[in-house]
Amino acid sequence: MHIHILGICGTFMGGLAALARESGHTVTGCDANVYPPMSDQLRALGIELIEGFGADQMAIQPDLFVVGNVVTRGNPLMEAVLDAGLPYTSGPQWLADHVLQGRHVLAVAGTHGKTSTTSMLAWVLDQAGLAPGFLVGGVPLNFGVSARLGASGQVARLGSPGAPFVIEADEYDSAFFDKRSKFVHYRPRTVILNNLEFDHADIFDDLAAIERQFHHLVRTVPAHGRLVVNAREESLQRVLAMGCWSEVTRFGARKEEPGALRARGEPHAFDVLRGSLKIARVDWALLGEHNQLNALATIAAAEHVGVAPDAAGRALATFQNVRRRLELRGEARGIKVYDDFAHHPTAMRTTVNGLRRKVGLQRILAVFEPRSNTMKLGAMKAQLPWSLEEADLAFCHSGGLGWDAVQALAPMGKQAVVSATIDDLVKQVVAAARAGDHILCMSNGGFGGIHAKLLDAMARP
């Protein structure tokens, strides 16, 4: 089959393209901006990429158009497809029909931590010899690719049909013609519900609307499936209260709870307890309580496909995380520059806290851009001072915002600096930075190449 993918350079659609190519399909694709790192990964696979959404791409004559959720009505190519009455589908639907059928799907859902936890779970299953397939919304350093098919045959250890496939399960909508969350297409047998907060203000009115979508996911899990649920999240308890038909394993309880997994020790070195019984030990390079919780969820999910908790703990010791998760990009004049994907206030606060635990009293300069659709709408601007309170200084790129960043950050006083351009922001950060500082850049985009600009500026005499 020849498929042509509209919006191919997004992490999900790019991963789908890689899986389709590995499956033997002919794959081409287009995007408004053909950009790395996905463009590099796809070209390395021999996938032809076309810049833009011109209707002239109809001449390619694929068997099927696979449409990403970046595509809207009015898109020239999509309008031509509709006018011609040609077959099209969403990315999640294609994945469900052509990759996930017959697999034991392990889905990782939640507002935060999906990419890291999906990568952890894939790595643990890989180290257990299960050769899992996976699709991750980032590039796990242990694998070097964002997606692979893995084993496709029967795996006796699973106790259920099909080899494992681990997928990052996003609650964002599937396509302009399918407003259901992506994850309802996946039909998982094992589901991690990491956490749940309000997000995606461009498509959801409130938290209750997202909770309803999560319950739609819960409804798809079979009776012999497993829900791995964060015990600290009231929103997830409300989701389960709508109805639950599967086994539930809770994690992260702050005190002993029968059957639940909890941690004892620091996030970088801790015992895993079930009740009062130690079942695993994790010693690894990751920081932050959020990663400790991600590890507990991973261990509980891996156990559902036959991986013993102690083996999962040993595998996590060699887990290297994902690119753009507190990734050190370089050092100049004794100042370190990090890159992180955090863009929701809670994720930003968690990331700053993780770095604070690492560097102690050394200064943290938080540099961020409110780039996501939710942040651009200003739905969470009031939470920004809270998200940045452990940073010594905060620098905000306000270009393209429809709200006043200076006013939103006013509670921080002189601790916060706002600039409308990347170049001005770089100058302000460089002027404030001194040896021993840690500059933490947070964005879900390329941030105008600010990491390299900072390092170059600080390296100059």
Tens of pLDDT, residue by residue over 209-267, are 999 999 999 999 999 999 999 999 999 999 999 999 999 999 998 888 889 999 999 99
303: pLDDT strictly greater than 50: yes
Q: What is the pLDDT of residue 29?
A: 95
Q: For the chain, list the domains and their CATH numbers.
A: 2-90 (3.40.50.720), 100-316 (3.40.1190.10), 327-459 (3.90.190.20)
For the ranges 92-96, 110-114, 336-340, 367-371, the one whose mean pLDDT is highest: 92-96
Under DSSP, is residue 103 helix (H, G, I), strand (E, B) or coil?
coil
Residue 322: DSSP 8-state: B
The string of pLDDT tens digits covering residues 353-386 is 888 988 899 999 999 988 776 677 777 788 899 8
Higher pLDDT, 17 or 200: 17
Q: What is the 3-state secondary structure (H, E, C) of 41-87?
A: HHHHCCCEEEECCCHHHHHHCCCEEEECCCCCCCCHHHHHHHHHCCC
Looking at residue 402, what is its pLDDT? 82
Return the closest-CA partner of residue 132 out of 142, 140, 145, 123: 123
Residue 155: the pLDDT is: 44
8 A C-beta contact, residue 360 and residue 437: no
Supply 249's token pair: 């394993």
Burial class (CB in 10 A: 0-12, 13-18, 19+), 383: middle
Helix axes 289-303, 114-127, angle to 10 degrees: 50
Q: Which pLDDT score, from 0 to 100, does residue 158 have?
A: 44
At 247 the three-state DSSP class reads: strand
Spell out a b/e string for 420-450, using b for 16 or more CB atoms within 10 Å of the CB, else e: eebeebbebbbeebeeebbbbbbbbeebbeb
CA 145 to chain centre: 14
Q: What confidence tier does 161 reach under pLDDT thresholds 50, 70, 90?
A: low
Does residue 403 come out as left (phi exceeding 0), alpha (psi in the -120 to 50 range) or beta?
Answer: beta
Pairing of strands 261-266, 269-274: antiparallel
pLDDT-derived band at 200, boundaries 50, 70, 90: low
| Mean predicted confidence (pLDDT) in 427-452 | 90
Flag whether pLDDT at 166 surpasses 50.
Answer: yes
Q: Of 174, 149, 175, whose CA–CA distance to 162 is shortest?
A: 149
Instruction: Specify the pLDDT at position 461.
Output: 74
What integer pLDDT is reported at residue 288 of this predicted model?
82
Residue 210 main-chain phi, psi, to 5 deg:
-75, -40
Give dist(CA 19, CA 66) in Å, integer.
13
The total of other beta-carbon atoms located within 10 Å of residue 455's CB is 19
Q: Which of 71-75, 113-117, 281-285, 319-323 has the lowest mean pLDDT?
A: 319-323
275: left (phi over 0), alpha (psi -120 to 50) or beta: left
Q: Return the pLDDT at 279.
A: 97
How far is residue 226's CA from residue 224's CA, in Å, rounded to a whole number? Answer: 7
pLDDT in the model for residue 381:
85
Mean pLDDT across the stretch 151-163? 57
Is there a contact between 104 and 305 (Cβ–Cβ < 8 Å)? yes
Rounded Cα distance, 329 and 271, in Å:
31
Cα 425 from Cα 368, distance rounded (Å): 10
Using 50, 70 and 90 to split pLDDT, how confident is the model at 24?
very high
pLDDT given at position 388 = 93
How do residues 44-103 score in pLDDT, each as one tens digit?
889 999 999 999 999 999 999 999 999 999 999 999 999 999 999 999 999 999 999 999
Q: Give the mean model confidence (pLDDT) for residues 10-26.
A: 93
393-397 vs 364-368, strand pairing mode: parallel
Q: Determine the average pLDDT of the residues in 163-185.
A: 93
> What is the Cα–Cα distance from 47 to 268, expressed in whole angstroms?
40
Q: Is 414 helix (H, G, I), strand (E, B) or coil?
A: helix
Mean pLDDT of 114-130: 95
Alpha-carbon span 361 to 355, nearest angstrom: 11
pLDDT of residue 174: 93
pLDDT at 154 exceeding the cut of 60: no
Asked whether the predicted pLDDT for residue 460 surpasses 50, the reply is: yes
Question: If you average pLDDT over residues 397-406, what whole number do you get?
Answer: 86
pLDDT of residue 375: 73
| Phi, psi (degrees; rounded to nearest 5) at 448 | 60, 25
